[in-house]
Amino acid sequence: SQTIHQWPATLVQPVGSPLSLECTVEGTSNPNLYWYRQAAGRGLQLLFYSVGIGQISSEVPQNLSASRPQDRQFILSSKKLLLSDSGFYLCAWSVGGPNEQFFGPGTRLTVL
């Protein structure tokens, strides 16, 4: 069966520090991968998606970036965090079918 992992689960970082969040999927090949952000009490905002290794599409301009160095690995990064980067970051995957997505457990990021 397929599983999706995210780490770390929680993170507290100072403003201006770098960020690296990792997402890995097991049990499937060539998935589409997605990064979302969910601010407190708000809906989901799609940040990036990837349909293959090295292929990244950005949905909103910001100081975050994403990379996909391996088929089932998706990384969200920032060189310098802003207070507004605080939130709950969710990774998801999909493959074929009617495009349902399956979500990881999330990373709660607090920028102080």
CB of 16 to other proteins, least distance (A): 27
CB of 36 to other proteins, least distance (A): 9
CB of 70 to other proteins, least distance (A): 19
> Is 15 or 60 the residue whose CB approaches other proteins more closely?
60
> Is 81 or 92 the residue whose CB approaches other proteins more closely?
92
SS3 (DSSP) at 110: strand
Q: What is the dihedral of CA 22, 94, 39, 61, to 10 degrees?
A: 80
Write out the residues near other proteins by the rule CB under 8 A: 32, 34, 42-44, 46, 49, 51, 57, 90, 92, 94-95, 98-106, 108
* Count of Cβ atoms closer than 10 Å to residue 100 Cβ: 8
> Is 42 or 80 the residue whose CB approaches other proteins more closely?
42
CA-nearest of 106, 111, 112 to 21 is: 106
> Is 61 or 98 the residue whose CB approaches other proteins more closely?
98
